[in-house]
Amino acid sequence: MENAAGRRTTRKEEMSWCMLEETFHSCCQLLLQQSEQLKDGWSWESVQDSQEGFLRKTALRSLVINSSPVWDQVGSISDSRSHTSCHSWLNQPQQEKEQSLPVASNDADSITVDIVDDDDEDDGVCMVSEDSSQVLKYEYHILYSCSYSTPVLYFRAFTLEGRSLSLEEVWSSIHPNFRLRLQDSPLHTISQQEHPLLGQPFFMLHPCRTEEFMRPVMQAAQDQHRPVNYVLTWLSVVAPLVGLDVPLKYFIQLHPEVLIRNTEPN
Amino acid sequence: MCRRLAASGVFRRFSGDSRGMTASTVAGLLSSEPTAKPRQELLLPRVSYLTLVTDKVKKHFLKVIKADDVEEMWFEYEGTPLKWHYPIGVLFDLHATNTVLPWSITVHFKTFPDGDLLHCQSNSVIEAHFMSSIKEADALKHKSQVVNDMQKKDHKQLWMGLQNDKFDQFWAMNRKLMEYPTEEGGFRYIPFRIYQTMSDRPFIQKLFRPVSPEGNVHTLGNLLKEMYPSAIPNDGEPKRFQVVIHGIEPLLETPLQWLSEHLSHPDNFLHICVIPVPTD
């Protein structure tokens, strides 16, 4: 059933934290305002002659990447699994119920979010391969998925000469801790997809589990009468997976008067 | 309406086509570049994917091309790289529907255009895409409840049914994805994509209900009016576009729910092509 505003109402046991498209737009505008203040580099790109658009940011990263398995001296991860793990959710639909959500704690008063300090990435890993580090240009897009009512992260990466990175290379550039988590958990997988607005190949973080990990966060925020920017909160979870920095200042520079309450189930 | 009978037409036995060829397949002529012999003529199934049905093509051309010169295979028509992850029938309707048969496709083994095409290095990539579409379609139709209740082997059966052209095997599972509570009158939202080549936007996909809140049945015309109004001429204006599904132009009065149940592709999406009316 929907009321006049077009919001979804569901029975209590079916409560799902999904985001309407207009909420996505509002959240993006707020994020943009903050990004401007923090000089974080996000911009809004609109599709010709329409309301639709997406958030975009580019960033340079200095990384060691190669297309063959990446081993560090601390712990080796079989890269032969990386091909299957990119589609691991297909093979483990029954296990997802047992998976613990990486960002929810059982304590409703606190929400733990596991974020790896990005600075460690280049320090801790000693590559046994012969490749040296190179500067790569990453491009990140945040789109709205109407099928899943959530934001979706698309990204692509190039060398400075303009060569695009393959899935294997992108996979190898993900911090080993996250690679482990991605392999074990069907919550997130990365695959190559067609960008729905631009039509070009991008890598995408699957959105089908977003609602699941956002639910406890949004529920807790509602219980505590705390306004939350859905897109920003979601971004803080997924960004570390793909080497995207989301400065903590986003979360401490909140101006209560400009925040809105997000769509909530009723 | 007898759903089972009509449903059987979707996959393969749908017949009747203004072009005079079985709507289930497209006649394709594949030649390698530089354009020269040998060439291969194939019947390509509309509902399948280029990289899934061209193993033999690859072997055929590999006989005459040096192994050193062979990288990832890709397809092109009149300068346009063909997106293997679109169903073959969609590619044909979009790019070649009003041209002389057979459809001349050029096969390439070098200079893969990675700014235009997704990589497809194995059948598991095709399977992942196919299942991803099915999952997304069910998110729209049933909030993912039906597909999530299926077991891994059921998902596999959908894929194997498509890959091995086993109609009954496929539909044993797919029929569950086509059900809906009778009191609802249809799916929650209709999985559809509208394709065109007049702009850079690859497709239009948005939320659209099969029945209005007042209980009116939405038609193909209603969908287009909402999503792509220029596809439908106003009264008195000449028709500028054809609206094509599986190579035919369904009447705009056709209920969308019916189209979704009976003219969806195996990936459970209604793929709709809007193409300019030929000028000759």
pLDDT digits (tens, 9 = 90+) for B237-262: 999 999 999 999 999 999 999 999 99
DSSP 8-state assignment for residue A76 = -
Residue with tokens 């496709």: B105
Rounded to two decimals, the ipTM of the complex is 0.89
Cβ of B7 under 8 Å from any chain A Cβ? no
CB atoms within 10 A of CB A226: 12
DSSP 8-state assignment for residue A255 = -
Residues 6+ apart with CB under 8 A from B238: none
Inter-residue contact B234 to B267 (CB < 8 Å): no
pLDDT digits (tens, 9 = 90+) for A27-81: 999 999 999 999 999 999 998 877 899 999 999 988 876 555 443 333 333 333 3
Inter-residue contact A24 to A150 (CB < 8 Å): no
Task: Give chain B's end-to-end CA distance (angstroms, integer).
Answer: 39
Residue A154 confidence class, pLDDT cut points 50, 70, 90: very high
**Residues of A with catalytic function:** 208
> Where would I find the H helices in chain A?
21-38, 80-85, 88-91, 120-124, 167-172, 176-184, 210-223, 230-238, 249-252
Q: Nearest CB to A94: which of B119, B132, B152?
A: B152
| pLDDT recorded at residue B41 | 85
Residue numbers in B near A201 (CB within 8 A)? 114-119
Residue numbers in B near A93 (CB within 8 A)? 148, 150-152, 155
**What's chain A's average pLDDT?**
71
Beta-carbon separation of A208 and B131 below 8 A: no
Cβ of B117 under 8 Å from any chain A Cβ? yes
Task: Give chain A's end-to-end CA distance (angstroms, integer).
Answer: 11
**Closest alpha carbon within chain B to A163:** B114
Cα atoms in the 13 Å half-sphere on the side-chain side of B34: 0
Is the whole model's pTM more than 0.95, yes or no? no
Own/partner contacts of A99-106, CB < 8 Å, gap of 24 or more, are: A99/A185, A99/A186, A99/A187, A101/A187, A101/A212, A101/A213, A101/A216, A102/A181, A102/A185, A102/A187, A102/A213, A102/A237, A103/A213, A103/A216, A103/A217, A103/A237, A104/A213, A104/A216, A104/A217
Residue numbers in B near A164 (CB within 8 A)? 114-115
